[in-house]
Structure 1
Amino acid sequence: MNKLTSIIILASDNADTLTNVIASASNISPHEIIVLIKMEN
């Protein structure tokens, strides 16, 4: 059974923040799930 890890990232509406998070995703195991939550004010 594969272990699924959920990573929740609270990101501001700053495009650079989301870009950096997505760029970092390439180093994460395919068995992990990344959930991006964009907070809108």
Structure 2
Amino acid sequence: MSDADHHKPFEGCRLPVVPTDYAPELTGIGPYAAQLGAVP
């Protein structure tokens, strides 16, 4: 493994996000959980 690989060990990995609150909830953590789960 090269030195460049050590700096980004989780690059390309995917992690499932299972929040208890999610959009379209307008207040609280729902909007933040929706943004966290968005795929770029």
TM-score by length of 1: 0.30
Kindly indicate whether structure 1 or structure 2 has the higher relative contact order, using CA contacts under 8 Å at least 6 residues apart: 1
Q: Which has the larger radius of gyration?
A: 2
TM-score by length of 2: 0.31
